[in-house]
């Protein structure tokens, strides 16, 4: 059994019961649909991260670049540039870290990487009901890249694309806001649709992370 999928299935089930189906899943769910975001001139050509390298967090490889994170304190990554690439990197790190942080780590991740509000509160309530104590040892998903759906200096919508061990591809719709001199992942207060959809392949305009 894919350990990551097993953990995420349990957590997503709890989040769904709590009305939080949009709380940062990396698993496939639903079918492909489209988002109709107006792409402003600032993101017509999304910024590509420079100096890209990889660092593992509990078995999942995460991208680190010149645009961030500039600081890693245990399970928390911080210090992302106020740019499209910085926002995208923050979205990736926040989504993965909140999804797989262990029982001793998730509260710190929530406090420092998620935007305060009902979405974060509901996620914390659901997360407290399950236990994750060990890293992923096999079958970890791979983050392929992202598309900036909309970007301003204060808020950015980022679609994250992930490859799973069964070669399926998913898109995760995320939203980060600039708070306290850094990007924070904002979870929806009352989501009406799941944020993760299955795709046949990543889109041609995806900003691809270089292979590991």
**What is residue 65's DSSP assignment?**
B
Q: What is the mean pLDDT of residues 112-128?
A: 95
Q: What is the mean pLDDT of residues 103-121?
A: 97
Q: What is the pLDDT of residues 141-174, one digit of tens each?
A: 999 999 999 999 999 999 999 999 999 999 999 9
Q: How far, in Å, CA of 42 to CA of 118, rounded?
A: 30
Q: What is the pLDDT of residue 6?
A: 43
Q: What is the pLDDT of residue 190?
A: 77
Q: What is the mean pLDDT of residues 123-148?
A: 95
Long-range contacts of 63-68 (CB under 8 A, 24+ apart): 63/89, 63/92, 63/143, 63/209, 64/89, 65/89
Q: What is the pLDDT of residue 191?
A: 67
Q: What is the pLDDT of residue 194?
A: 66
130: pLDDT confidence band, cut at 50, 70 and 90? very high
pTM for the full model?
A: 0.82
**Two tokens, residue 9:** 């299935």
CA 25 to chain centre: 8
**What is residue 82's DSSP assignment?**
S
Q: What is the pLDDT of residues 43-89, one digit of tens each?
A: 344 489 999 999 999 999 999 999 999 999 999 999 999 999 999 99
**Two tokens, residue 106:** 């998730």
Q: What is the mean pLDDT of the chain?
A: 83
Q: How far, in Å, CA of 155 to CA of 170, rounded?
A: 23
- Each domain of the chain, given as residue ranges in start order, spans 3-208
Q: 35 pLDDT exceeds 60?
A: no
Upstream peptide bond of 23 is cis (omega within 30 degrees of 0): no
Of the listed ranges 144-148, 180-184, 189-193, the least confidently predicted one is 189-193
């Amino acid at each position: 059994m894919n350990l990551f999928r097993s953990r995420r299935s349990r957590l997503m089930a709890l989040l769904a019961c709590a009305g939080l189906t949009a709380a940062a899943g990396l698993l496939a769910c639903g079918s492909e649909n489209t988002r109709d975001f107006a792409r402003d001139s600032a993101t017509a050509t999304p910024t590509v991260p420079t100096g890209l390298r990889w660092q593992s967090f509990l078995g999942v490889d995460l991208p680190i670049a010149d645009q961030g994170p500039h600081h890693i304190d245990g399970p928390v990554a911080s210090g992302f540039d106020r740019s499209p690439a910085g926002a995208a990197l923050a979205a990736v790190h926040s989504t993965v870290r909140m999804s797989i942080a262990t029982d001793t780590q998730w509260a710190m991740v929530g406090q420092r990487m998620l935007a305060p509000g009902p979405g974060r509160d509901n996620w914390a309530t659901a997360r407290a009901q399950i236990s994750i104590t060990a890293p992923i040892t096999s079958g970890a998903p791979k983050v392929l890249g992202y598309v900036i759906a909309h970007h301003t200096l204060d808020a950015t919508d980022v679609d994250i694309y992930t490859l799973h061990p069964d070669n399926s591809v998913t898109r995760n719709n995320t939203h980060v806001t600039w708070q306290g001199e850094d990007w924070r992942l904002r979870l929806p207060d009352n989501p009406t649709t799941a944020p993760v959809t299955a795709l046949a392949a990543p889109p041609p305009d995806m900003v691809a992370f270089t292979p590991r």
